[in-house]
Amino acid sequence: TYTHIWKPMLQAKFDGDFSNTPATYIWSRLVRMKSTRGGASQKEEAGHLIGGYITLLNAMAD
């Protein structure tokens, strides 16, 4: 699991230098991702803003 999932993710997230990544980061990531799953099917329910956060900021400014 570490070699195939966590190591590539940490390398991408921290530009290859993840030797000092706190355990609290990994724990909070697991908790956050688990919270996107609900119901008996356990399908993920997450999304993203098309256009990024600027879309939200522009809508709030209007």
Q: What is residue 47's three-state secondary structure?
A: coil
Give the residue extent of every domain in the chain: 1-35
pLDDT at 31: 81
Running DSSP on this structure, what letter comes out for residue 3? I
Question: pLDDT tens string for the chain (62 positions)?
Answer: 788 888 888 888 888 788 888 888 888 887 877 776 666 666 666 677 888 888 889 999 98
Q: How far apart are the first and last CA of the chain?
A: 46
Q: How far apart are CA 36 and CA 58, in angstroms?
A: 26
Residue 49 and residue 60 in contact, taking contact as beta carbons nearer than 8 Å:
no
